[in-house]
């Protein structure tokens, strides 16, 4: 595959269309403010882009110095307590939190989702969360939302997770199927993988 690098001009959007659907896309902003897109990054300054229901976003990275295992143990009692209240497997909540924030209560996405379970402002308000950075409130709100989605999609875990990531309206738009977004499909697979792992390792 030949390298396809373009600069930010009027064909910015077309550059995405011209790239093979299976190719990873990377973005780099040079010192002149020009945006360069390519499927073969020349150095570590390029940031990988993923297609989400919100549009193209830079892939979230977790600091190498961040101790997520320590936070996993720290928040485990709260996660188990909330899981009992909403009749959810605690391993499932752990899986969602791992995929969403790696247990970072201060995590913020480019779309504005905040906290352990990455709540958007509207979702937080709907489920009584006044402080999205508060771990306990965030877990309560995210768990209530997940419980609602499971009921909405008749306990179909894959669809509930897809809706948690892309929005329930998006799942309905595609005929109650996982939306054709790479980020959403990867998210569902990731959470289910973590869920299976935690279900066997967490008593």
- Report pLDDT for 20: 47
Residue 40 scores a pLDDT above 80: no
178-203 per-position pLDDT tens digit: 999 999 999 999 999 999 999 999 97
Residue 36 scores a pLDDT above 90: no
Active-site entry in 57, 100, 168, 183: 100
Residue 7 scores a pLDDT above 50: no
Residues 100 and 172 in one domain: yes
Domains of the chain: total: 2
Name beta bridge partners: 37: 6, 27
178 inside domain: yes
Residues 156 and 82 in one domain: yes
- Report pLDDT for 17: 43
How far apart, in whole angstroms, are the C-alpha atoms of residue 81 and residue 29? 45
Average pLDDT, the chain: 84
How far apart, in whole angstroms, are the C-alpha atoms of residue 108 and residue 119? 9
Mean predicted confidence (pLDDT) in 5-28: 50
Identity of the highest mean pLDDT range in 11-15, 49-53, 98-102: 98-102
Estimate to the nearest angstrom the gap between the alpha carbon of 111 and the chain centroid: 10
Which structural domain, as residue segments, surrounds residue 93? 68-201
Residue 1 scores a pLDDT above 50: no
Q: What is the pTM of this model?
A: 0.71
CB of 119 closer than 8 Å to CB of 139: no
Residues 33 and 82 in one domain: no
193 inside domain: yes
Residue 120 scores a pLDDT above 90: yes
How far apart, in whole angstroms, are the C-alpha atoms of residue 142 and residue 193? 19
100 is catalytic: yes
74 inside domain: yes
Between 44 and 177, the more confident residue is: 177
């Amino acid at each position: 595959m030949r390298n396809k690098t373009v600069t930010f001009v009027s064909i910015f959007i077309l550059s995405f269309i011209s790239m093979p659907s299976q190719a990873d896309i990377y973005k780099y902003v040079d010192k002149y403010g020009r945006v360069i897109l390519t499927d073969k990054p020349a150095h570590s300054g390029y940031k990988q882009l993923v297609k989400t229901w919100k549009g193209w976003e830079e892939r979230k990275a977790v600091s190498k110095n961040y101790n997520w295992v320590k936070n996993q143990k720290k928040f485990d009692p709260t996660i188990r307590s909330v899981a009992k209240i909403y009749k959810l497997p605690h391993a499932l909540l752990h899986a969602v939190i791992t995929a969403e924030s790696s247990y970072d209560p201060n995590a913020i996405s480019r779309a504005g989702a905040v906290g352990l379970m990455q709540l958007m402002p509207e979702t937080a308000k709907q489920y009584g969360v006044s402080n999205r950075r508060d771990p306990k409130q965030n877990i309560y709100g995210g768990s209530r939302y997940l419980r609602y989605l499971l009921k909405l999609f008749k306990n179909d875990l894959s669809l509930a997770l897809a809706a948690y990531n892309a929005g329930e309206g998006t799942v309905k738009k595609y005929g109650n199927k996982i939306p054709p977004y790479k980020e959403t499909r990867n998210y569902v697979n990731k959470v289910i993988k973590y869920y299976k792992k935690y279900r066997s390792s967490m008593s």
